[in-house]
Amino acid sequence: MEDLKYQKETFFFDMDGLLFDTEALYYQTRQRILNKYGHSYTKKDHATYIGKGFDDTIFRLQKIVDDDLLGRKIFNESMKLFQTEIENQNFSLKKGAVKFLNVLNENGKSCYLTSSSSRKIIVQALQKAQIKDLFNGIISGEEVKRNKPAPDIYLRALTISRTNKDRALVFEDAKSGVTAAKQAGVDVIMVPDWLPSDKQDENKAIFVLSDLNEAATIFR
């Protein structure tokens, strides 16, 4: 594990559920709007949406309500509510997130935010949390044809950062992100959030950590 400190120079971070405790916020706002239109939405339902991008979310919502226009309307209303919550700072940073990012910056590492979310939401969250300056760049789900679990976002991240995949390391909380990194040929460390890791995740990730404080210990 100590070798990683010297082997890796560029770090790619997912956002929701890894750096920010926002996955619960997505669930709560989406549930609220679906309930408004007479549809239920459980935590089990939400688990199938995690880390796959907004196009996938819209498609699934349209299936739930069996109406394309209403599904998109529900998505738009829930995202507006989500953005209001972000603007009001009704979210928190995950344990160890700032500490780990500071450790990497102090050691001259490059950090990129690689999220399926839109650039607008990413920038808004980073600015509200006052950690935008800790990142060298942002790669959003809007910039790629296929979102996670496809490898596109990490292949683009490698190109943008001009990094060889052997010198890069991904941090992800969700199964779709772990799969995306693995398919891109980049080592990935999993820090589970909404769902616990399983044997398949553990076979794909080089490590599974409980929080980013553990990561800070490795790279300090």
* pLDDT tens-digit readout, 147-182: 999 999 999 999 999 999 999 999 999 999 999 999
Q: Is the pLDDT of residue 3 over 80?
A: no
2 band by pLDDT with thresholds 50, 70 and 90: low
Residue 148, both tokens: 């996670």
Query: Is 50 or 99 the better-scoring residue by pLDDT?
Result: 99
Q: Which of 19, 25, 13, 215 is nearest to 129 (CA)?
A: 19
Mean pLDDT of the residues in the chain: 93
Cβ-proximal residues to 143 (8 Å cutoff; 6+ apart), any chain:
119, 153, 156
Backbone angles phi, psi at 82, to 5 degrees: -60, -45
Is a pLDDT exceeding 90 seen at residue 6? no
pLDDT per residue over 129-144, tens digit each? 999 999 999 999 999 9
CA-wise closest residue to 53 among 120, 139, 117: 117
pLDDT score, position 54: 86
Dihedral sign, Cα of residue 2, residue 3, residue 9, residue 13: negative
User: Please, which pLDDT band fits residue 89 given cuts at 50, 70 and 90?
Assistant: confident
Answer whether 37's CB lies under 8 Å from 70's CB: yes
Question: For residue 52, is pLDDT > 90?
Answer: no
Instruction: Convert the pLDDT of each residue in 176-211 to its tens digit.
Output: 999 999 999 999 999 999 888 999 999 999 999 999
Confidence tier at 1 by pLDDT (50, 70, 90): low
What are the structural domains, with CATH classification, of the chain?
A: 4-21+92-219 (3.40.50.1000), 23-87 (1.10.150)
Percentage of the residues of the chain whose pLDDT score is greater than 90? 80
